[in-house]
Structure 1
Amino acid sequence: MKRLALAFFLIALVAVSFLGCEKDDICPEDSVTTPLLIITFNDNNDPESLEDVPSLRVIGKDKDEPVTTFADSTDIDSIGIPLKVFANESVFAFIRHTEEITDAGDTLTVINADTLTFSYRTEQEFISRACGFITNYAELTVTRDQEDEDNWISSLEVVNPTVENQNTTHVKIYH
């Protein structure tokens, strides 16, 4: 009788431990995450055409290192950058490196940085107990530092003011 009671107790203990686990205790790798801001760089003379920015580097305000969501100092026509989740604006320096040939035949690297401020309203969305929350962004606007007189960016356009996924362009930068 004691053995039968012990067996029932062990079976009940195992059943309770399995019933206590839920499907959302593990966050799947393919689950939704906070989206990056997708920016394309377009030709100022042909606005529908993408144009590489030579040796682009993007550094956040008060940061020492460039963003790591794309290869640093590469020629690139579109990028994704992270926005701050606990603030209503993110400031980045967009740095373009170009090479110029002098009259003496020397090659000089010219560094030109434009500072952009992205303003938005954050919206927290609960995904699951294991994955937690993600942040989406609404009412996105972008402004350029007006004190800089040597701009390489000609104009800015917010194409999609709601940042909920990474499958669409949010901002176009014309240069």
Structure 2
Amino acid sequence: MKKIILLLFIAITLSSCEKDDICADETTPQLVMEFYDVTNPTVKKNVNNLKVTGYNSDNTLMVTPLATFNGVSVIKLPLRITEDTTSYSLILNSAITTNINEDKIQFDYTRQNVYVSRACGYKTIFTLNSPNGVTRTDSNTTDGFWMQFINIQTTNIDTENEVHIKVFF
């Protein structure tokens, strides 16, 4: 009788266990930008002291920068999952306090929530608007754009395994 009760207890205990809910799948992707030399468009070019600061929904600049990238040719930027536009200020060579060259870049897109799994829930995928998915402006027109040319590689942003935007400077 004790063996039956023990086996019954073990069976109930084991049947109540569930698979661990660990999200190993990719979640909402970030936009991947890669930088190239404008004089030799096949050569990647590292950015130096690239300070990236986001804009709030009311188009005011955030107080705290998102990040400063140094010595890399690829950066990832998050897009807003609750709005159809995201804007950033990109300042190249931000360590230099004189002659700051700031370009503003705005991404316009549509969003779609996609179910991933029970552990991960939903992720948002983005599609850049065509043909105006990326707009750049310059706060100081006398210094000109440091981002001389922007090339959209793909309008679908559903993974971080590919380059979405190429920037030539």
TM-score bracket relative to the smaller structure: 0.7 to 0.9
The 1:99/1:91 distance shift into structure 2, 3 A limit, reads closer
Q: How does 1:51-66 map to 2 (within 5 A)?
A: 51-62=45-56, 63-66=62-65
* 1:103 match: none
* 2:79 match: 83
What stretches of structure 1 move > 4 A for 4+ residues in a row?
3-9
Q: Which moved more, 1:49-58 or 1:82-91?
A: 49-58
The 1:11/1:54 distance shift into structure 2, 3 A limit, reads closer
Gaps of 5+ in 1: 101-107
Bigger proportion of residues as helix = 1
* 1:38 match: 32
Q: CA RMSD in A?
A: 2.5
Residues 32-53 of structure 1, C-alpha deviation per residue, up to 9 Å, x if partnerless? 1211111011111222221222
8 Å contact from structure 1 (residues 56, 75) kept in 2: no
Gaps of 5+ in 2: 57-61
Q: Structure 2: which amino acid aligns with 1:152?
A: W
Pairing 1:110–2:99 present: yes
State the TM-score, normalizing by the size of structure 1: 0.77
Pairing 1:171–2:165 present: yes
The partner residue of 1:122 within 92, 106, 111 is: 111
Bigger proportion of residues as strand = 1
* 2:59 match: none
Aligned residues: 159
8 Å contact from structure 2 (residues 49, 95) kept in 1: no
Q: Distance in 2 between matches of 1:49 and 1:8?
A: 68
The 1:120/1:91 distance shift into structure 2, 3 A limit, reads same
Q: Structure 2: which amino acid aligns with 1:97?
A: N
State the TM-score, normalizing by the size of structure 2: 0.80
* 1:105 match: none
